[in-house]
Amino acid sequence: MNLQTAIFFAPFQGITTKAFRLVYARHFAGVDKLFTPYFANIAVDYPLPALKMKALQHQSESGISVVPQILSKSAPEILSFARSCAALGFGELNWNLGCPYPQVARKKRGSGMLPFPEMVDEILDQVMPHMPLSFSVKCRLGYAKAAEIMDLVPVFNRYPVAELTIHARTGKQLYSGKTDPDAFGAALEGLQVPVVYNGDIFTTEDFGHISGLFPGISRFMIGRGILKDPFLPARIKGLPQPGDSRAVLRGFLDDLYFETRREKKDSPSALNAMKECWTYLMFAFEEPVVVFRRLKKAGNFDDYEDAIKEVFANDRLKIQE
Ligand SMILES: Cc1cc2nc3c(=O)[nH]c(=O)nc-3n(C[C@H](O)[C@H](O)[C@H](O)COP(=O)(O)O)c2cc1C
């Protein structure tokens, strides 16, 4: 592992909420930056509404910087959000050019803008001279074809983009199918901005493979790999692992549960949020289907607490203990 390896926790709409970021950073080591899920529909030149302000509380968690993200195709909207974030004390804003969902992409937002480099150029041209904080971009290799990135390379090179994270897939692939390290490598050769690799790092072996392919890359964004195995960043960095991972995981989950209930004022949506986390975390156990079955049926908080007790009394962890 490169001594300067930086690991960023990818944003997940509905999962990496304020509560999640706070609690994750409290219990696990190895992550260098946390990203918020994307914000959209910002009213230009109006103060942010209370709900968005709340979701943006904490510019860092346990010393780890938090980076807000915006999904937008409007320069004034991006700048308005950037000014709010700067006023709140954030140091970086990230622009989402990766969201693959058809209802977003169809409107040339997220990865739907990637086939239109002139549009990306125009927005960067309007935004960069007035940007009050570091501006980074998260994109994919393209929307329909991985080759689309090659027309974006000269565009990104024209601006002082702080970091370009590339999820090595196309938008059309959503989150499945193979990543395309060759197309990533071709783009990397031409890029003059700092590049972050993203896509399908689930184990230390995956990390070793990708960092072997791209020795010049020192920044990696990891999403599902951390959601499935929260110890992964520390393991990649060779940091000391806790003696009792089971107890750490349990501590994290209990903390997350109470923080989520607090954030959602004990509404049933807190239960759904926990179940959403478990759709990934179940893979930390040897028999994920059995684990998820125990949790899925929980209809109220008491059921959920009983299910957690059952899981920790019966189910073996798969991740290295
Ligand atoms: C449910 C879900 C929600 C996501 N939300 C966001 C988001 O708000 N912003 C973003 O840039 N990417 C989002 N992503 C993409 C991830 O951040 C990440 O780029 C992707 O999962 C690939 O990385 P991984 O293979 O390490 O998981 C989301 C992915 C999923 C599956």
pLDDT at 105 over 70: yes
Question: Alpha-carbon distance 96 to 131, whole Å?
Answer: 16
Q: How many angstroms is it from 10 CA to the middle of ligand 1?
A: 6
Contact 109, 73 (CB under 8 A): yes
For residues 27-31, give the mean pLDDT: 98
Question: Alpha-carbon distance 181 to 191, whole Å?
Answer: 15
Which helix (DSSP H) or strand (DSSP E) does residue 103 occupy?
helix 102-105
Which helix (DSSP H) or strand (DSSP E) does residue 19 occupy?
helix 18-27
The neighbour count for residue 148, using CB atoms within 10 Å, is: 22
For residues 144-149, give the mean pLDDT: 98
Strand locations in 143-245, DSSP E?
Answer: 164-170, 195-198, 219-222
Nearest Cα residue to atom 3 of ligand 1:
12
Q: Which residues are CB-neighbours of 226 under 8 A, at least 6 positions away?
A: 9, 10, 31, 232, 233
> Has 294 been labeled as part of a binding site?
no
Q: Give the model's pLDDT for residue 99.
A: 98
pLDDT at 320 over 70: no
Give the confidence band of 3 by pLDDT, cuts at 50, 70, 90: low
Both tokens of residue 284? 């930390």
Give the confidence band of 40 by pLDDT, cuts at 50, 70, 90: very high
The half-sphere exposure of 299 on its side-chain side, counting CA atoms within 13 A, is 0
pLDDT at 36 over 90: yes
Both tokens of residue 270? 């807190």
User: What's the CATH number of domain 6-236, 3.30.565.10, 3.20.20.70, 2.60.40.420, 3.40.120.10?
Assistant: 3.20.20.70
Q: How many angstroms is it from 141 CA to the middle of ligand 1?
A: 14
For residues 128-154, give the mean pLDDT: 98
Q: Give the model's pLDDT for residue 2.
A: 59
Q: Give the model's pLDDT for residue 319.
A: 78
Both tokens of residue 105? 């992409």
Percent pLDDT > 90 in the chain is 97
Closest by CA position to 92, among listed 111, 66, 126, 115: 66
Q: How many angstroms is it from 310 CA to the middle of ligand 1?
A: 30
Question: Alpha-carbon distance 187 to 178, whole Å?
Answer: 17
Q: Give the model's pLDDT for residue 1.
A: 59
Q: Any residues with Cβ below 6 Å from ligand 1, and which?
A: 10-13, 37-38, 69, 96, 98, 138, 167, 175, 198-201, 222-225
